[in-house]
Amino acid sequence: MTAVIDTLPQWLPGVLTMAVLVVASGFFSGSETALFYLSRDEQRRLQSGSSAERTAAELLSNPDRLLTAVLFWNLVINLAFFAVSLVTAKRLVSSGHASLAGLLSVVSVSSLVLLGEVIPKSLAVSLRYPIAVLAGWPLSISVRILDPVIPVLGHISNAIQRVLWPRLTPEPYLQTEDLERAIETSELGVELAALEQEVLQRVIDLSEMTSEELMRPRNTLKLWEPPVHLTDLQTHLAAIDFLFLS
C-alpha cells in the first residue's frame, strides 16, 4: 500500500487518462451496437421524432460511413490507451516497482475489455433506443470530423481488397434457404400467424418452380366464344380450378 502511495505521481496521470479513454471506447462501442441493433419500426420512429432522433436516423442512412468512423475512432482510442499504459508501466519499472507495473497492465486491459466493450454493448442491446438518441449528436460530430478522410480510407480498403482477395465476390444479402429456415423456425402467434406462414412458404416454393410447371397447355382449357352467359358456365364451374374472363 505504501508503494502505491509513494508512486502516486508516476501512475495517477496515466490512470486518469486511461479512464477517460475507456469511457470514450465504451461510448463508441455502445453507440455502434445501439444504432445497428434498432429494428425497422424503431428506425422509422427516429425519422419522425425529435431533432436528436432525426440526427440518429441520418447517421443510419449511410451505415458504411458511420461504421468506418466508429471503427476508426475506436482504433485510435485503443492505440492511445495502450500507449499510455505502456508509458505508465515503464515509469513504474524504472522506479523499481515492476510488480505494480504488472498489476497495472492486467487491471488496465481488463478494464478496457469489460468497461470499454462488453458492458457497453450489453447495455446497448437492452437500451438501444434511448442510447441511440443520446449518442446521435456526439456521433454526428465525430463522423463529420472524418468526412474528408473517409473516402481516402475507402479507396485504401478497396485497393487492399483487390490485392489480397482479387476474386472476392459479395454474398447475397438473403438467400431463399434463409427465408425458408426463418419461416419454419418462427413461433406461431409471436412472429407469424399460421396463414402468413403458409403464404410465405408458397412464395418460397414459387421461386423454385419453372414456368413449365405452372403453365397449362391451351388444348386442355375450356374456352367459350363471346358472348358468354352465366348459364353457360354453371355446369362447368364445379370441375375447374379457376375462371378467367376478358
Last residue of a domain, one of 108, 135, 164: 164
Domain count of the chain? 2
Instruction: Output the DSSP codes for 59-128.
Output: HHTSHHHHHHHHHHHHHHHHHHHHHHHHHHHHHHHHTT-HHHHHHHHHHHHHHHHIIIIIHHHHHHHHTH
Using pLDDT thresholds of 50, 70 and 90, give the confidence band for residue 153: confident
Question: Mind listing the pLDDT tens digit for each residue in 59-116?
Answer: 888 888 888 889 999 999 999 999 999 998 888 888 887 888 888 889 999 999 999 9
Query: Is the domain of 34 the same as that of 148?
Result: yes
Q: Is residue 170 part of a domain?
A: no
pLDDT given for residue 194 in this prediction: 65
Q: Is 134 helix (H, G, I), strand (E, B) or coil?
A: helix
Q: Is residue 234 part of a domain?
A: yes
Range of the domain at 17: 2-164
Length of the chain: 246
Beta bridge partners of 188: 192
Q: Is residue 154 part of a domain?
A: yes
Q: Is residue 246 part of a domain?
A: no
pLDDT given for residue 39 in this prediction: 83
Q: What is the mean pLDDT of residues 27-34?
A: 93
Query: Is the domain of 145 the same as that of 182?
Result: no
pTM over 0.75: no
Q: What do you get for the CA distance between the two ends of the chain, in Å? A: 94
Q: Is residue 142 part of a domain?
A: yes
Question: Mind listing the pLDDT tens digit for each residue in 155-212?
Answer: 887 788 788 877 766 666 566 666 666 656 655 555 446 666 677 777 777 776 666 5
> Do residues 57 and 47 lie in contact, with contact meaning Cβ atoms separated by under 8 Å?
yes
Query: Is the domain of 27 the same as that of 78?
Result: yes
Using pLDDT thresholds of 50, 70 and 90, give the confidence band for residue 9: confident
> Do residues 240 and 232 lie in contact, with contact meaning Cβ atoms separated by under 8 Å?
no
Query: Is the domain of 180 the same as that of 217?
Result: yes
Cell of 69: 468512423
Last residue of a domain, one of 137, 164, 191: 164
Last residue of a domain, one of 130, 164, 198: 164
Query: Is the domain of 13 the same as that of 68?
Result: yes
Query: Is the domain of 72 the same as that of 182?
Result: no
Q: Is residue 171 part of a domain?
A: no
pLDDT given for residue 76 in this prediction: 94
Query: Is the domain of 72 the same as that of 193?
Result: no
Query: Is the domain of 32 the same as that of 153?
Result: yes
pLDDT given for residue 242 in this prediction: 61
Query: Is the domain of 148 the same as that of 67?
Result: yes
